[in-house]
Structure 1
Amino acid sequence: MDVLYNIEAARMSIGKLMRDRAEGKISSVQLASYDKDIGDHFTMVKTIAPKSMWLARKEGDADVKEVVLRVQGAICHHQLPPVLGSRITANNEARFMKQSIRLTGFGCKQFQQAVNSAANLVAFMGQNMDDGSIEQWAPVRFQAWPALEFSNRYFVHQNTEGDMVPVAYSENMDPDGVLAEMAGEDWVHTADNQVSFYKRDAVSDEKPRFVPFDPSMFKKGDLVEVQFSMVAVKQRGKDEQHNVRLILRAVAMLDDKLSKDAINKQTVVGSSLPTAPPTPSKSLKRSVGYMHDEDDDQDLGNTKRMRELSISDTRMDDEGALKQ
């Protein structure tokens, strides 16, 4: 983070954003709501393709949907589209390619509640697994503060049954055709690999609405909201050991004033420095959706990411881990 970035102002803004976004019935999708009590809100379900165990919610007698939660914070690291040819090296492999984002609250109380909630939900998933156990989970960090990292791989591996259904790459994701070339026949970009990007716009009645946003415009220090799912994935080479991943579903820009202010300050500072004479021997060195959140609407907006799961009553076998 730039030294001119106002961390204290960001900490206060994140706290207010998290309080505002937790109002009304949509508080049920706020991660920070589960720092003390999970209650009977959630369950666990198994899917065959790909093999995994997801945090889910029961709705009605038989309807079970994947849970998509929300959390707000400041971007401290991100790898988001577009994927450009200049960023690909010979060591890149399709299975490792992913889009990711890391958020921090700079010590904000509400963000710490979100971190505690994530730990509680991981413990819940471990207690409700039919097979195996959950590997110990801990948040990542940014400098001295806890942080949360969310990611989603661009591809899953196609199985012999051809269960993985490909979808088109979203706009601005693959302008150079890099991902399409890497995928070949073995790797597939599916609906589950898609991440949506939005920006919050103010409207006349002061109720926020969200519009599509270019992912290349996100910057370190931007205050954003992330939507994500939680999945337990079997670890390769570890008997019945699973780890929990936070799967990125959507990113929404909430406030970029502080990051822009830091950039403007840096520009002013840079322009006031004396110009160094040219040195011939030294070369210059040159990165799920929303609709109106109604009071009585617990959906997660336009992406409908609390989507129905294909559930199998068959127990998971020991072969293969989820490939994001």
Structure 2
Amino acid sequence: MDAFYNKAEAVRVLDEIITERIDAAPGLQMYGMDSEAVEKFGLTIVKEETNAASKLIQVNELTGEAEEALIAIQGIVTGCLLPPFEPKSSRPDETRRLAHARQSVTIAGLGSKSFNTIVQNSRHMYTMFSRYTPNAKLQPVPEFIGKYRGTGDSSTVESSTITASSRFFTPVKQASGLDIVDINAELDPRGVLSKVDASKWVHTEDNEVGYYIQTPHADENRQIGDIVEIQASMLSLPSKGNYTVKLILRSIVLLDGHLTSAATTARTLAADTIVLPPPRRLKRQNPYGGYIVQQGQIPRNTKAIEAEAAQYQAGEELEESDWHNVTME
């Protein structure tokens, strides 16, 4: 985001959207996850049977069954790593790198008070997991909360960020009980991901991320500056002797992309009106004026060089053509 992106308008639109989603959108909203949310929404944390991970769940009021809790978070995209993925090289280890590929998106508020509330509630939800980790070894700072510093106009914007991600493949050893699904051709049009060793890595239902568009006029590609809503689950995992909580990306909804499009248009039009100054010819310092020839590298015709160099004074600036007039035999 640069001077062509209207940050103030983006904040206004984001605050408006968050208010609308609270009243109209179904499901859990991070904006409403205050200290009473656990009891209000029937949330709890359960330990996974297969490992030491813990997951936030919600009891379905209609069926009475426990389900993975999905929380909606709205924000302005400041970074993303989404398919289709491109190979960085043709080396054999490239397929191993792709096996660890992740889909991720980072959002910020750029000064939005509503987004600041979302960040605060995210911290509260994070601390819930401390009661469900052995010896309360939860890292003090959520790793999914970061910082964004934006420049490019007359002001500098600093904002907290929230990142949600999901791995594209699951190791076969960890895929027990999960359904294997085909990779959507739109996410891998060149078949790059199909080169990953299927005997070791599989794409399962747990790796799927949904991509949605609220308005039919929006571009299908997610871009920096778009206003989106992400749906994420919360999972606690062992990390370097402690535990951390990750936001697992489940879906992305493009809510508003007109500010990004407007910035692109303005940037393109401005490029046509910018007149670049003519290139300035650089000058170089004359190293031979009144100088001593380096010992051990004395040319045969030292006097000739000294005679030519005497034409120039120490510290005099020479143009490029002058260098070719100094005879060195």
TM-score of the superposed pair, with normalisation by structure 1: 0.74
Q: Amino acid of the residue matched to residue 57 of structure 2? A: A
1:131-158 Cα distance to aligned partner (Å, 9 max, x none): 7532223411111100100100101111
Length, aligned pairs only: 265
Q: Amino acid of the residue matched to residue 48 of structure 1? A: E
Matched, 1:113 2:117: yes
Q: C-alpha displacement at 1:218, in angstroms?
A: 1.0
- Residue in structure 1 matched with residue 292 of structure 2 by the alignment: none
Q: 1:8, 1:14 → 2: CA distance? A: 10
The runs of 5 or more residues in structure 1 that have no matched partner are 203-210, 279-324
Give the percent of matched residue pairs that are identical in Structure 1 and Structure 2.
23
Q: 2:252, 2:138 → 1: CA distance? A: 27
Could you say what the CA RMSD is over the residues aligned between the two structures, in angstroms?
A: 2.8
Q: 1:25, 1:112 → 2: CA distance? A: 20
Q: How does 1:1-324 map to 2 (within 5 A)?
A: 1-24=1-24, 26=26, 29-40=28-39, 41-49=42-50, 52-60=53-61, 63-86=65-88, 90=93, 93-129=97-133, 133-138=137-142, 139-143=145-149, 144-159=158-173, 162-201=176-215, 214=220, 217-235=221-239, 237-238=240-241, 241-274=242-275
Native 8 Å contact 2:175 2:204 kept in 1: no
Q: C-alpha displacement at 1:84, in angstroms?
A: 2.5
Q: Write 1 or 2 for the structure with the bigger share of helix.
A: 2
The runs of 5 or more residues in structure 2 that have no matched partner are 150-157, 280-329
Q: 1:219, 1:263 → 2: CA distance? A: 11
1:103-146 Cα distance to aligned partner (Å, 9 max, x none): 01112111011111111111112224467532223411111100
Q: C-alpha displacement at 1:88, in angstroms?
A: 7.8
Q: 2:223, 2:201 → 1: CA distance? A: 30
Q: 2:259, 2:218 → 1: CA distance? A: 21
Secondary structure at 1:93's aligned position in 2? Answer: helix
Q: 1:43, 1:187 → 2: CA distance? A: 31
1:268-290 Cα distance to aligned partner (Å, 9 max, x none): 11011236889xxxxxxxxxxxx
Secondary structure at 2:141's aligned position in 1? Answer: coil
Q: 1:43, 1:15 → 2: CA distance? A: 29
Q: 2:89, 2:224 → 1: CA distance? A: 19
Q: 1:103, 1:25 → 2: CA distance? A: 19
Q: C-alpha displacement at 1:95, in angstroms?
A: 4.8
Native 8 Å contact 2:218 2:257 kept in 1: no
Q: 2:115, 2:170 → 1: CA distance? A: 31
